[in-house]
């Protein structure tokens, strides 16, 4: 494997992309799990599909249109839930099939329909390019800056939104930042995990961290450890057994979580 990493750039990019996405998961997954936003992560992932379909039809930048569609989706969810028009779940339930159907209709007119659909739905880490790497690095920097500036606010918001509002924290602004954060993270992750398997990075690390940590800092570190180990293990297994990396990483993460939960109960 080391020899191939030195010989083939696409394999190095795939490995580097997997590591970067693992770092992103360490920050986004605990928030998603503690705020019970798992459905939002799934909804944003499906919304990204519409943007990727537009990019495919126009032969344009997939990252730009992926971010655009996911941000539009996140803004809709944020606006309607904050204005008490609908609950978050109801809004996502309405918009998710709309964005997904729009993407499928567009891709049905594309000559590369089958290939694109498979790559978007189930992921293909070997298609990660330098643009994806730079985008993931940019999202990580954005995330770190937001955490440094709003660490106390985010901690209060995750723990108790009503208490955070009572202490003067701008919960609407924090909520909007988190929506953008989830959207950017999903777009950065989609080539590796795919839309259907997005929970591998958006949910599982946070669940692991929640059952093994007591402090928020510990949760971030445990989430990072879980995400890195499961991703690199899955990537290695996929390489040696010639398996699709995305599903292999997903199953590896699930097995790791299952073992952890079993041992924790004992």
Report the alpha-carbon angle 87-90-96, nearest 5: 130
Q: What is the 3-state secondary structure (H, E, C) of 133-183?
A: HHHHHHHHHHHHHHHHHHHHHHHHHHHCHHHHHHCCCCHHHHHHHHHHHHH
What is the rounded CA–CA span in Å between residue 193 and residue 120?
9
pLDDT of residue 266: 60
Tell me the three state secondary structure of residue 243: coil
Tell me the three state secondary structure of residue 126: helix
Half-sphere exposure of 126 (CA within 13 A, CB side): 8
Task: Tell me the whole-structure pTM to 2 decimals.
Answer: 0.83
Cα dihedral 50, 11, 222, 162, rounded to 10, equals -20
Class of domain 2-196: mainly alpha
pLDDT of residue 6: 59
Q: Where are the domains of the chain?
A: 2-196
Is the predicted pLDDT of residue 44 greater than 80, yes or no? yes
Q: How far apart are the first and last CA of the chain?
A: 37
Q: What average pLDDT does the segment 253-258 reach?
A: 90
87 vs 203, more confident = 203
- Render pLDDT for 51-83 as a digit per residue (tens, 0 to 9): 888 887 887 888 888 889 988 988 888 888 777
């Amino acid at each position: 494997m080391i020899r191939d990493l030195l010989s083939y750039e696409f394999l190095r990019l795939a490995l580097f992309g997997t590591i970067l996405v693992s770092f992103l998961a360490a920050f986004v997954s605990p928030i998603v799990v503690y705020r019970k936003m798992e459905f939002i992560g799934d909804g944003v992932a499906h919304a990204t599909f519409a943007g990727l379909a537009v990019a495919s039809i126009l032969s344009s930048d997939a990252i730009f249109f992926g971010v655009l569609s996911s941000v539009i989706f996140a803004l809709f969810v944020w606006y309607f839930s904050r204005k008490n028009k609908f609950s978050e779940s109801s809004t996502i339930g309405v918009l998710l099939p709309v964005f997904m159907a729009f993407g499928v209709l567009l891709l049905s007119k594309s000559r590369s329909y089958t290939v694109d659909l498979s790559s978007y739905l189930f992921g293909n880490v070997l298609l990660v390019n330098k643009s994806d790497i730079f985008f993931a690095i940019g999202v990580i920097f954005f995330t770190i800056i937001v955490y440094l500036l709003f660490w106390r606010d985010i901690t209060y918001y995750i723990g108790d939104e009503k208490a955070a509002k009572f202490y003067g924290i701008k919960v609407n602004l924090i909520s909007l930042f988190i929506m953008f954060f989830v959207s950017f993270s999903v777009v950065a992750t989609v080539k590796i995990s795919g839309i259907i398997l997005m929970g591998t990075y958006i949910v599982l690390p946070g669940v692991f961290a929640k059952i093994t940590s007591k402090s928020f800092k510990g949760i971030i570190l445990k989430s990072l450890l879980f995400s890195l180990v499961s991703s690199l293990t899955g990537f290695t297994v996929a390489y040696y057994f010639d398996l699709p990396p995305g599903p292999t990483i997903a199953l590896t993460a699930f097995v790791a979580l299952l073992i952890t939960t079993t041992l924790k109960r004992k």
